[in-house]
Amino acid sequence: MLAGRPFAPVLLDMIESLRPHVKVAVIVNTKDEEQIIREALLQRQASSSSSSSSSSNGENDLAFHLNVDASQPLKVVDFRWSVWGYADGLRPIMPPDEFAEMIDSDGGVARRVAGALSLATVDATDFVSEGGDREFNGRGTLMVTEAVQLQRNPHLTRDQLTDRFKSVFNVHKVIWLKQGVAEDDQIFNGPLPGGVFTMPCTGGHIDEYARFVSPTTILLAEVREEDRDHPIGRISHERLEENYRILAGETDQDGNPFTIIRIPLPPIDIVTVKPTDRLYTEYGAITFRDGRTFEQIVAERRRERGLDDAAPVEVEAVVPGSYCNFLISNGVVLMPRYHGEGRPAAVKRTDDAAREIMQAAFPAHKIVQIDCENVNFGGGGMHCISQQQPRTSWEQ
């Protein structure tokens, strides 16, 4: 469950779409979960293997990465884990044993995956790095988000992080983009303009807004013209255009300029969060960076509306939707779909436009659109809950 939304249906849709193209391994929490997944897959006439265990929904974001190059066998890179930068905020509000178990469970995935696959590990636990904020062109260039990397690693400078990325990933160039979209801001930042809260988001992962679709071509998110006057859309638009200017002046590791293709963000989706919702309970445990608690904000809104002290108060939250949070695999690309029953026609038009752009970017791939909004409610997407395992040149 992510913020009270089941994400297993999204996972099953992904597995079903991937299985004709690639072998899929599923990380589960318990044997009971493994059995549930197996039975659900059998019902869909699919099959799967499972390995390791984790309490998390973010396999790509967890503190490990599978590394390979021409001269070395596949290895697992083990990074430090900070719960997407929330560790310092969670530590005071969680029982110590529960907090330690969470850090060990998620942060220890690298070692468990290495053990399950009989792979060596590379120790990179002197800094935090999450897969959702690393975007490679496969030729020696890496893109990251400055706001994310510096928030996760306050003990390191940008130059020091650049050196670490070059050493760990054997890249020659690191491109630093400034900030992600407003919808992906961390909860601890507090409400966005209009008093709208974010979901438990990452603070600006690059897989929400900028992705390589070839060594010299970048897919960059763009706020729809209709949303640029919206208070939230305006912030995202300013950030994305700053990132566009950075990329327009950048080159790859060989000095070649990039081709930049814009892809729309889905229409801004603001939902009501009720006191009975799990997400509301999660908000209730938070102290925001300005020192206010969620209860203090709710009390302020009661006073503004002339309500009794005990009156229930609903709040609004923005869903961090993005077509950039897609998964590339062998012969297939899985991308989000947001239109469904009761949704405006504009959502369908944007879904279709994004699909056309993706198909043009990957003409030899099958494009599969999946409703992944339940994962969005947990602050992620399909790229976040997956992890590629590269085939090495010596594998048959």
Question: Which tens digits make up the pLDDT trace of 254-310?
Answer: 999 999 999 999 999 999 999 999 999 989 988 899 999 999 999 999 999 999 999
* CA gap 188, 124 in Å, rounded: 27
What distance in Å separates the CA atoms of residue 312 and residue 240, rounded to the nearest whole number? Answer: 37
| Segments making up each domain of the chain, as ranges | 7-377
Please give the pLDDT value at position 6: 78
Q: Cβ distance 294 to 327 under 8 Å?
A: no
> pLDDT tens-digit profile of 79-97?
998 888 888 777 766 777 7
Contact indicator for 106, 63 with CB cutoff of 8 Å: yes
pLDDT at 359 over 90: yes
Average pLDDT of the segment spanning 38-54: 61
pLDDT at residue number 56:
42
Model confidence over 166-192: pLDDT tens digits? 999 999 999 999 999 999 999 999 999
How is domain 7-377 classified at the CATH fold level? L-arginine/glycine Amidinotransferase; Chain A (3.75.10)
Q: Looking at the predicted structure, is the pLDDT value of residue 50 above 50?
A: no
- Beta strands per DSSP E along the chain: 25-28, 49-53, 64-69, 72-80, 120-128, 135-136, 141-145, 173-177, 197-198, 210-214, 217-222, 259-264, 270-273, 315-318, 327-329, 332-337, 366-371
pLDDT tens for residues 214-257? Answer: 999 999 999 999 999 999 999 999 999 999 999 999 999 999 99
pTM over 0.85: yes
Question: Is 342 exposed, middle or buried, given 0-12, 13-18 or 19+ CB atoms closer than 10 A?
Answer: exposed
Q: Considering the chain, what is the average pLDDT of its residues?
A: 89
